[in-house]
Amino acid sequence: MTGPAVPFREIVLKVHSRCDLACDHCYVYEHADQSWRTRPKTISDHVIARTAQRLAEHAKTHALPSVSVILHGGEPLLAGPSRLRRVCEEFGSALSGIAALDLRIHTNGLQLSPRYLDLFDEFDVRVGISLDGDRTANDRHRRFADGRSSHPLVLKAVELLRQDRYRHLDLGILCTVDIANDPHAVLDALVALDPPLIDFLLPHATWDEPPPRPDGSPTAYAEWLLAVFDRWQEEGRPVPVRLFSSVLSTLGGGPSLTESLGLAPTDLVVVETDGRLEQVDSLKSAYEGAAATGFDVFSHSFDDVAAHPGIRARQLGLAGVSETCRRCPVVRSCGGGLYTHRYSPANGFDNPSVYCADLEALVRGIQARTSAAGVSPSVADRDELVAEQHDLTRTLLAGLHDALDGRGGARWDEAWGLAGVLESCEEGAAGLDRVLAHPYTRTWLLDVMEGLHAERPEAVGHALRLASYVAAAAVRSGLDMEVAADYRDGRLFLPTVGELRLAEPGEAGRVRVRAAGEGFSVRREGEGERIVRRGAGSPDWLPVRHFTAGSAPGFALDDLDPYRDCFESPAAPRLGPTDAEAWAGAVGRAWELVEQAAPRQAADAATTLTTLTPLVTGRSARRPHGYGTVGLVMTGDTRKLARALLRGLRRAGLRALLDVTDLYALDGAWEYRLPWGRNAKVPFSGLLAETYERVGLSFLDPEFMDGVPEALDMMEGAAEPTAGGMRLLSSLRDEVGGVHGTSGMNTLMNAVGHELVR
């Protein structure tokens, strides 16, 4: 295997290997590795140039949009302004036209002066400062060699950085935890400095050199951090805290934000002052030479160093943590902790973190404190889900506009502009909403965006269908607005409205469409105006038909939309009038059965389902669509059709949730055996989908409940569900308990037997 699993996007460049402080907790000088003693003090021109060249080559090879270069030490400011200027110039020049360059420096702040900050302003180098909290806390470790306090000088540096002229360069404050400090005093002192970001670091420790635990508590560090968290919450989260943001992000299904937590592959490498390439330098806490790779920028590319087992181990995600961690549900957030903290002389790094109990308590503590707030309202509220779905479609349309970046030409601009005009008044906005909320509009948008991404030549042409959507919205709104739309293969298709045959098959062109009375007018160049009444079908005009079923308000029978073929069976061609009536009648009977057996599901569906599409038997590839449609293969068996309807509703409902919120993360990392008799193993997503479907179907056929309680138990004990996922599992339990409890089951059995007693 060549090249990294994940390319490096962060380079830690050691520009100076000595420091003007003598912090007794520093991993560079005070821990196991003493390699700093043999390094050049300052990075040379040669190392700078070669590293910049290697990084540019790496960014080009992997088409990276941006790379971060973190100037570090020792104390990087000791390299002096001219050396740092050289670094900025070399990297700026090497990366120019290849990738955006994100330059950062992390300093103790003692030397920070306008001389440095003017340089950083010139090259947009952003600055982070180390400070361990209030004076007492800071001076516990961060002192000069002669024991003097560094606190006043660091505060001076922070104040300088906060000045208006430099504030844009401020990255924030890094604070190393010492549980002897007062957590509230530490947070208050840091917040008082108004930094844009804070992070708390656990002091480096290993199983060989465990962290101090003065009161013996195995979770002393979690307790300290949770005290900070509670204070931070009480104060309204005045400053982002990277550690907390990372846990909240992973609990919600997002990425980790620091290498110390989460399972995201590490994408950083360290370049020492002598050009040697090393793993993260915190490994120096583990043992002499722990960070070394044997590679250097003179002889090796960044892809070469990626092959080093230590680097690769931290790119393996779940496979890179210990067996104990792989079985732990918290691993998705803690990721086994910082690699360094896993070290023991006996097992190397194949251990949980020496902070394992702390990390678990921290993650669970934050989860318990925020679980309600971390759940999207769409999980519990159908109206919210509909609104979120609609927002998503509109965001995708705006995203398509950006992605086209002018390639749609005047025709796109005209349609886009008219969409804006339409939504500026209530009737137009309602018409546009109706068309954009149509489930197959989403299919069109995704098809076009993926086509553009894959550089398919027809994608821009398909994007220009926007004019048809806008024309349909204008017709629906009844506004006096003319929209130019394309007809293809002799037909003009207006989504949600119908299809007009205008010319011979194979012919294409443009027409002008305008709302007119109870329909619309169409005018082709050089021809007269043609009036179409929406309600009156004819051989040339095929309207989208609607029907009612049970007590539902009505559905569109969409057998026209060119993007409707997104189910596991192929879409049926346009149904003739007799077939359409029969289809609607059969669906109506199935709907009534669902209303009897599963009244709550039917009531939910009545407010969210807008569209039903006839399918024919056979296999087809499923494609994504928006919320509100189900495809059904015709059958005269009402019970079978009701089951298909219920199954379609459950699938559409879960899919719609997954489109707008993260219900689980790291899907596929673990496998689960399905409890309902088959020997198949599935990822979490498969288990959830089948369980969700079976709970719905069990209202019609109770045997679908077999294995569901076991599946729910499995999922609730799993690592994958987010706060939203846990909320969904809880509502599934309620659904099961509410209907399949003693009294509920009686209702169910009677409903299925068509003998409603209540």
Partner 1 sequence: MKTYESTPNFAVAKRRVPLAKIDASGSAAARRMGRVLATADSRPTQISTFNSSL
For residue 189, the Cα-to-chain-centroid distance in whole angstroms is 33
Does position 194 interact with partner 1 (CB under 8 A)? The reply is: no
Does position 446 interact with partner 1 (CB under 8 A)? The reply is: yes
The rounded distance, in Å, linking the Cα atoms of 740 and 254 is 35
The rounded distance, in Å, linking the Cα atoms of 614 and 571 is 6
Does position 260 interact with partner 1 (CB under 8 A)? The reply is: yes
Tell me which amino acid residue 273 is.
T
Which member of 145, 368, 454, 621 binds partner 1 (CB under 8 A)? 454
Which member of 553, 573, 668, 738 binds partner 1 (CB under 8 A)? 553
Does position 479 interact with partner 1 (CB under 8 A)? The reply is: no
Q: 409 Cβ partners below 8 Å, 6+ apart?
A: none
CB 664, CB 721: distance < 8 Å: yes
Which member of 32, 55, 59, 70 binds partner 1 (CB under 8 A)? 70
Q: How far is the CB of 374 from partner 1 (least distance, A)?
A: 15
Which member of 522, 556, 687, 712 binds partner 1 (CB under 8 A)? 556
Does position 132 interact with partner 1 (CB under 8 A)? The reply is: no
Residue 128: name the closest of 140, 136, 119, 120 by CA. 120
Does position 558 interact with partner 1 (CB under 8 A)? The reply is: no
CB 708, CB 740: distance < 8 Å: no
Nearer to partner 1, 358 or 659 (CB): 659
Report which DSSP code applies to 208: S
Write the interaction track for partner 1 spanning residues 163-182; mark x where CB under 8 A is met and - where it is not.
--------xxxx--------
Interaction with partner 1 in 293-332: which residues (CB under 8 A)?
Answer: none
Which member of 396, 500, 560, 688 binds partner 1 (CB under 8 A)? 396
Residue found under tokens 């208006």: 164
Nearer to partner 1, 535 or 717 (CB): 535
Which member of 387, 503, 633, 634 binds partner 1 (CB under 8 A)? 387
Nearer to partner 1, 556 or 687 (CB): 556
Q: CA separation (Å) from 536 to 229, 545, 634, 728?
A: 65, 10, 26, 45
Q: 91 Cβ partners below 8 Å, 6+ apart?
A: 48, 52, 55, 69, 101, 103
What dihedral do alpha carbons 92, 98, 102, 106 form, nearest 10°?
-60
Q: How far is the CB of 259 from partner 1 (least distance, A)?
A: 5
Nearer to partner 1, 311 or 397 (CB): 397
**Residue count, binding to partner 1 (CB under 8 A):** 91
Which member of 35, 285, 293, 610 binds partner 1 (CB under 8 A)? 610
Which member of 544, 598, 642, 715 binds partner 1 (CB under 8 A)? 544
Does position 698 interact with partner 1 (CB under 8 A)? The reply is: no
Interaction with partner 1 in 88-117: which residues (CB under 8 A)?
Answer: 100, 102, 104, 106
Write the interaction track for partner 1 spanning residues 519-538; mark x where CB under 8 A is met and - where it is not.
---------------xxxx-
For residue 373, the Cα-to-chain-centroid distance in whole angstroms is 17
Does position 517 interact with partner 1 (CB under 8 A)? The reply is: no
Instruction: Write out the two tokens for 71.
Output: 């100037």
Q: If residue 622 lies in a helix (H) or strand (E), which one and from where to where?
A: none
Q: Would strands 672-673 and 198-201 be described as parallel, antiparallel, or unpaired?
A: unpaired
Which member of 136, 149, 217, 258 binds partner 1 (CB under 8 A)? 258
List strands edge to edge, sheet with 491-494: 491-494, 498-501, 541-543
Which member of 19, 157, 190, 201 binds partner 1 (CB under 8 A)? 201
Q: 598 Cβ partners below 8 Å, 6+ apart?
A: 646, 696, 699, 700
Q: 43 Cβ partners below 8 Å, 6+ apart?
A: 13, 14, 15, 16, 79, 83, 87, 273
CB 532, CB 524: distance < 8 Å: no
Q: What is the CA radius of gyration of the chain?
A: 31
Q: How far is the CB of 306 from partner 1 (least distance, A)?
A: 16
For residue 359, the Cα-to-chain-centroid distance in whole angstroms is 23
Write the interaction track for partner 1 spanning residues 577-606; mark x where CB under 8 A is met and - where it is not.
x--xx--x----------------------
Interaction with partner 1 in 630-669: which residues (CB under 8 A)?
Answer: 658-660, 662
Which member of 22, 357, 392, 484 binds partner 1 (CB under 8 A)? 392
Does position 401 interact with partner 1 (CB under 8 A)? The reply is: yes
Which member of 152, 218, 255, 409 binds partner 1 (CB under 8 A)? 255
Q: How far is the CB of 437 from partner 1 (least distance, A)?
A: 5
Nearer to partner 1, 294 or 554 (CB): 554
Q: How far is the CB of 630 from partner 1 (least distance, A)?
A: 15
Q: Would strands 170-176 and 125-130 be described as parallel, antiparallel, or unpaired?
A: parallel
Q: How far is the CB of 425 from partner 1 (least distance, A)?
A: 11
The rounded distance, in Å, linking the Cα atoms of 123 and 107 is 17
Give helix then strand counts, H and E, for the chain. Answer: 26, 22
The rounded distance, in Å, linking the Cα atoms of 478 and 476 is 6
Nearer to partner 1, 17 or 698 (CB): 17
Which member of 545, 651, 694, 727 binds partner 1 (CB under 8 A)? 545
DSSP 233-259: HHTT--S-BHHHHHHHHHHTT---SST
Which member of 278, 433, 499, 735 binds partner 1 (CB under 8 A)? 433
